[in-house]
Amino acid sequence: MATGLSGTLYTLDDHFLYVGPLLRSGRHAHHAGQIMWVPGGISVRVGHHAPWRTTFAVIPPDQLHGHGEAALAAVLWLDGDDARWAGRASLQPTPPTTSEVGLLDSARTPPAARDVARRLLRAFAPDGEPPRVAERHPAVRRMCTLLDAGATTPSHELSLAQLARRAGLSERQLREVFVRDTGLTPRAYLRWRRLRRAAASIREGASLTMAAMHAGFADGPHFSRVFHAQFGMSPRRAFASLRFGGALPGP
């Protein structure tokens, strides 16, 4: 039985594509929605629904879910900020067909992986361009800048009161407008940005401990607990055997 992910992870703009075997995950939720293509089938559970077996699934951002094992899969994670999620209610996904399985079987090189990413994006949003979304409140943009800075330095977390004073809003107003525009509380947003920063450090060659420090986590165990809650497995299990394939040209 595999003890860690052994496939290849690529970056695609602000998103990630994984191609390879999948491990069973605990139930978890993260701010990146995901598009899963598993030709051999996989058990998936979303929310409080009973598990079902499928070859294709679209899981929205921040949705509790878990999945079983698979010998070969492609998973495209689209950050919750991607405008495509705002229009997902009107989208009609078009899953890959059995005749396209060869596309995934050969996705061991960046050009082939790029073709898989393109196919998954077309499956999710057949019309191509993401819908327009309302612009964020100026205070939310300022707060995101501050929180993004907090995700690159090992400093203590700013309190909501401090964030509200800097934004010129009351704490209640800040929380309401921030959740409305980002789908996350300020604290959850900071956790998510720190996780992304830690993952970037690991791709650049940092150890798990150093990545945790670079991203502002208190220590390695703190990083591990947050990662497990967001991805259903420990960072060691996720990254120990993972290969990094670099950046793919945009679809």
Residues 96 and 20 in one domain: yes
Domain of residue 44 covers 8-132+243-247
159/101 same-domain check = no
CATH number (domain holding residue 55): 2.60.120.10
What CATH number has the domain bearing residue 171? Answer: 1.10.10.60
Specify the pLDDT at position 83.
80
How far is the C-alpha of 155 from the C-alpha of 239, rounded, in Å?
A: 25
Other Cβ atoms less than 10 A from the Cβ of 160: the count is 16
pLDDT for residue 167: 75
Same domain? 69 vs 19: yes
- The total number of structural domains in the chain stands at 2
Q: Are residues 164 and 107 in the same domain?
A: no
Task: Give, in degrees to the nearest 5, the angle at Cα 91 between 87 and 92.
Answer: 170
**Do 31 and 66 share a structural domain?**
yes
Residue 222 domain-assigned?
A: no
Question: Are 34 and 106 in the same domain?
Answer: yes
Residues 87 and 180 in one domain: no
Q: Does a structural domain hold residue 228?
A: no
Residue 84 lies in a domain: yes
Whether residues 25 and 118 fall in one domain: yes
128 lies in the same domain as 142: no
User: Are 108 and 35 members of one domain?
Assistant: yes
In a domain, 38, yes or no: yes
Instruction: Note whether residue 225 is domain-resident.
Output: no
Please check whether residue 208 lies inside any domain of the structure. Answer: yes
The verdict on 26 and 125 lying in the same domain is yes
Domain contains 76:
yes
Dihedrals φ, ψ of 126, to 5°? -55, -30
- Residue 71: inside a domain, yes or no? yes
Domain shared by 64 and 115, yes or no: yes
- pLDDT of 251 reads 54
Q: What is the pLDDT along the chain (251 residues), one digit of tens a residue?
A: 457 899 999 998 888 999 999 999 999 999 999 999 999 999 999 998 999 999 999 999 999 999 999 999 999 999 988 888 876 766 677 888 888 888 887 777 888 899 999 889 888 876 656 666 668 888 888 888 888 887 766 545 566 787 788 777 888 888 899 999 998 988 899 899 999 999 999 999 999 999 999 898 988 999 999 999 999 999 999 998 999 999 987 65
Whole-model pTM? Answer: 0.88
